[in-house]
């Protein structure tokens, strides 16, 4: 008899990969999804690993690129300019799925992608890009932190940057009573995919 509690992707590598990417896609719009945010790892100037949470702003299935937005003045951009290798981590406790990804970052500071992203950004989020001094700077006290108040509604735009993370490796871990499942998916430069199960 078939155990109905097995998800359809349980023993199916293709379905597992599609489910992983569907979870990332759902996270863009679904604010309650654990994949609405993810952790990005970069390499600091002295080689120290650096991590931070960002909001999942888009997943492009064609290019396998995740997108997040950030301030042009933020240290993570210097790190990515120096070395575009990035890692992405997310754990969805409801789905019992951990994804670990290797990606290559592209900084969009002045192109059509960045403009479209800014145009779609709500006023509340735009406000963050007006902060002075720069994110990460030392502040003598919280009252030393201000938001520029020019007439220009585009004031924060100059500090707004979109970053895409093109995923070239994805590791899946699914926790299940009946036996965990772990798999690795890797794409080469031409987009060829290699996939395999791993021991959990």
Binding site for ligand FMN (CB under 6 A): 37, 50, 52-55, 68-71, 74-76, 135-136
Task: Name the nearest CA neighbour of 18 among 185, 192, 191.
Answer: 185
User: CB 99 → ligand FMN: shortest distance, Å?
Assistant: 17
User: CB 117 → ligand FMN: shortest distance, Å?
Assistant: 11
- Between 9 and 118, whose beta carbon lies closer to ligand FMN? 118
User: CB 138 → ligand FMN: shortest distance, Å?
Assistant: 13
Q: Is 33 left (phi over 0), alpha (psi -120 to 50) or beta?
A: beta
Do 67 and 165 form a contact (C-beta atoms < 8 A)? yes
Q: Is 182 left (phi over 0), alpha (psi -120 to 50) or beta?
A: beta
- Between 19 and 57, whose beta carbon lies closer to ligand FMN? 57
Round to whole Å and give the CA distance between 195 and 170: 9
- Between 76 and 181, whose beta carbon lies closer to ligand FMN? 76
- Between 54 and 170, whose beta carbon lies closer to ligand FMN? 54
């Amino acid at each position: 008899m078939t155990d109905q509690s097995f998800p359809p992707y349980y023993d199916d590598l293709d379905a597992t990969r599609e489910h992983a990417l569907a979870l990332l896609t759902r996270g863009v719009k679904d604010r309650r999804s654990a994949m609405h945010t993810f952790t990005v790892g970069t390499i600091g100037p002295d080689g120290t690993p650096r991590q931070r949470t960002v909001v999942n702003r888009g997943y492009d299935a064609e290019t396998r690129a995740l997108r997040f937005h950030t301030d042009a003045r933020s240290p993570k951009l210097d790190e990515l300019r120096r070395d575009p290798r990035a890692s992405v981590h997310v754990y969805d406790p409801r789905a019992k799925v951990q994804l670990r990804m290797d990606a290559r970052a592209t900084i969009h500071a002045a192109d059509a992608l960045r403009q479209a992203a800014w145009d779609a950004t709500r006023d509340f989020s735009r406000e963050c890009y007006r902060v002075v001094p720069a994110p990460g700077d030392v502040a003598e006290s919280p009252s030393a932190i201000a938001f520029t108040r020019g007439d220009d509604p585009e004031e924060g735009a100059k500090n707004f940057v979109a970053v895409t993370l093109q995923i070239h490796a994805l590791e899946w871990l699914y926790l299940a009573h009946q036996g965990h499942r772990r798999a690795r998916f890797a794409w080469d430069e031409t987009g060829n995919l290699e996939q395999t199960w791993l021991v959990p």
